[in-house]
Amino acid sequence: MNSNHKNTDTNAILITGSNGGIGGMILSYLLKNGHRNIICQYRRSSDQIKKIFEIYAVDPTNRIFQADLNDEVSVQNKGIEIRKKHAFVSTIINVAGSSKNGMSWKITKNDFISVIHDNVLSAFLCSKEFIPDMREKNFGRIINFSSIVGHTGIAGASSYCAAKAALMGLTKSMSKELASKKITVNAIALGYFNAGLINEVSDDIKTEIKKNIPMQRFGDENDIGSLIQYLIGQESNYITGQIINLNGGQI
């Protein structure tokens, strides 16, 4: 980001799902690289977020908030609170999501809908809340987190694959709606990283997964953080509506 949008009291970066592994990676990288006006949403626990802020000597007070991103009233109320404390949210990084395993003929309707809500509805409502401000300022960055499985599918995770594919469609549509206001909307389709859901997988399965990655490793904080830093900066002004595959060459 250039000086007009970095390290100011009036332009903030909002990260949803910050208590997860990927959200923590992004927060850590941005703090390490000089960004300070960062706001973090969490659903259950803020312990990890606080620790990361404290590592970089940043007071987490007024920078973390709990919200149900599937509830529009909750999102609107938090939007009002954020504006009072931070003025303008110039960047939204929609990381929040969830996954429930189950074959398509076994997963319950409620579980399927829950995953769609946690991954797609949350990104939609959070973006919707702050887009009017971005339009007024004639600047904004929205980054949605999709997944490699949105392209490929995977057995036992139909709801998650459907949700991540839907995020790609949402990204492309919103990018066309907002381009005239210099607001870019992109999605990052993640492969396998050293954080998040991969920690629930056995070492044997991790080894097998790596065999199918041309770079023979999982992604790390620098891989994801450097891409985020580029996309929120002025250098990426002409990049919008893109699904950026960050997967070590897997597809």
Q: What does the pLDDT look like over 149-205, one tens digit per residue?
A: 999 999 999 999 999 999 999 999 999 999 999 999 999 999 999 887 677 778 898
DSSP labels, 36-51: --EEEEESS--HHHHH
CB 222 within 8 A of CB 191: no
CB 94 within 8 A of CB 145: yes
CA–CA dist 229, 206 (Å, integer): 28
Active-site hit among 160, 192, 230, 238: 160
CB 12 within 8 A of CB 38: yes
- Catalytic residue check, 29: no
- Residue 41: left if φ>0, alpha if ψ -120 to 50, beta else—which one? beta
- Residue 35: left if φ>0, alpha if ψ -120 to 50, beta else—which one? beta
CA–CA dist 118, 96 (Å, integer): 7
Q: What letter does residue 142 receive in the DSSP assignment?
A: E
| Per-residue pLDDT reduced to its tens digit, 7-48 | 445 699 999 999 889 999 999 999 999 999 999 999 888 889
pTM: 0.93
Q: What is the pLDDT of residue 206?
A: 86
Q: Provide the token pair at 109.
A: 């309707």
